[in-house]
Homo-oligomer: A and B are copies of this chain.
């Protein structure tokens, strides 16, 4: 999987700086490094993976900080949490509208884009007010199929 382009990473980091300024949330080293890990990865890392990577640079980082920060970033709309069937939540800093292909064998997640949003049925507003739509395709990824 090709890495996120450096210019794109920089744009994402800029969004973090802006969001901190706008919401009054402090821009700590921890937040910067945690967000950077998500922003520069296409592989939708889980909290433990992020924890391990950040710890290379900041050996005293705690699990709590990683979880708390990811929750804040999610609340600010800077990252999305992706739920799969595999127990651990995965994180995603791609701000464009997209969907996920989830490999049910290895758990890898890949983004894809829909040309047009699926048309929801008439009665959907009887259920509540929709805020977001998530399409998840599950199957076996090529890497697993070839092994």
Contacts and interface: CB of A to CB of B under 8 A. Distances in A.
A81 interface: yes
A121 interface: yes
Q: How large is the interface on A (under 10, 10 to 19, 20 to 34, 35 or more residues)?
A: 35 or more
How many monomers of this protein are in the complex?
2
A134 interface: yes
Given A83-B85, A85-B81, A118 B130 contact: no
Contacts of A133: 135-138
A141 B81 CA distance: 21
B110 A115 contact: no
A104 B131 contact: yes
Which of A85, A126, A127, A138 has the largest count of B CB atoms less than 10 A from its CB? A127
